Amino acid sequence: MPAAVRKILKTTKPYEVVQIKCLNNDKLLDHMEDETNGIFKREFFESFKDQAIITIQLLHIEQKEYMFKLPATERVERVLKLKEISNKLFKAQKFYKAAKMYIRIYDFYKSKDSKGNYIKEDSTTEEFLDAIKKLGELEKTNLTNLAVINLKQMQY
């Protein structure tokens, strides 16, 4: 989703209609392809030379559960999804945005909630233990990826 649209959506209230007028298509081309919905295709925005007016109405907000409140297996899935997004950003050489995603994952680990048992799962099950082990492995991978980005950006 383009940055211009993302910034507006953060402050838009449900059912509010908002128009975004962009005089420079750079703000519309700074995003990854929307593979899921196919709404924000680069070719579409590249065709606008002078200006683009986008009208948006927010119909529904789906608030995701805090990661630490999820069962261990769902925490693994959420971290893997964030990792997938950050890897796509990295491959597209959008290092700043990728770093923000890796830092978001790192903050989850830093809070010690990754290994916690907030919902009081049975911590003796193989499923729980495997998920906690996988979270530990993903933490190391995440820190390695963050280090690589810092090296690429020469942030020592």
DSSP assignment of 75-103: HHHHHHHHHHHHHHHHHTT-HHHHHHHHH
Higher pLDDT, 7 or 93: 93
Look at residue 91 and tell me whether its pLDDT is greater than 70.
yes
Q: pLDDT tens-digit profile of 16-38?
A: 888 878 777 666 666 556 666 66
Q: pLDDT tens-digit profile of 47-84?
A: 777 777 878 887 877 767 777 788 889 989 999 999 99
Q: Does the residue 95 lie in any domain?
A: yes
Look at residue 126 and tell me whether its pLDDT is greater than 70.
yes
Residues 38 and 84 both lie in one domain: no
Q: Does the residue 62 lie in any domain?
A: no
Q: What band does 133 get if pLDDT is binned at 50, 70 and 90?
A: very high
Residues 39 and 84 both lie in one domain: no
DSSP assignment of 35-65: TTT--S-HHHHHT-SS-EEEEEE-----PPP
Residues 71 and 111 both lie in one domain: yes
Residues 71 and 148 both lie in one domain: yes
Q: Contact, 50 vs 23, CB < 8 A? A: yes
Q: What band does 1 get if pLDDT is binned at 50, 70 and 90?
A: low
Residues 33 and 75 both lie in one domain: no
Count of positions (residues) in the chain: 156
Residues 35 and 7 both lie in one domain: yes
Q: Contact, 97 vs 48, CB < 8 A? A: no
What angle is formed at CA 33 by the lines to CA 31 and CA 37, rounded to 5 degrees?
Answer: 120
> What gap in Å lies between CA 119 and CA 70, rounded to an integer?
7
Residues 40 and 71 both lie in one domain: no
Amino acid 139: pLDDT: 92
Amino acid making up residue 97? K
* Structural domain total, the chain: 2
15: containing domain: 3-57
Residues 92 and 131 both lie in one domain: yes
Axis crossing angle, helix 126-152 with helix 95-110, rounded to the nearest 10: 140
Amino acid 4: pLDDT: 67
Amino acid making up residue 104? R
Residues 125 and 90 both lie in one domain: yes
Residues 52 and 77 both lie in one domain: no
17 SS3 class: strand
Look at residue 119 and tell me whether its pLDDT is greater than 80.
no
What angle is formed at CA 125 by the lines to CA 113 and CA 108, rounded to 5 degrees?
Answer: 15
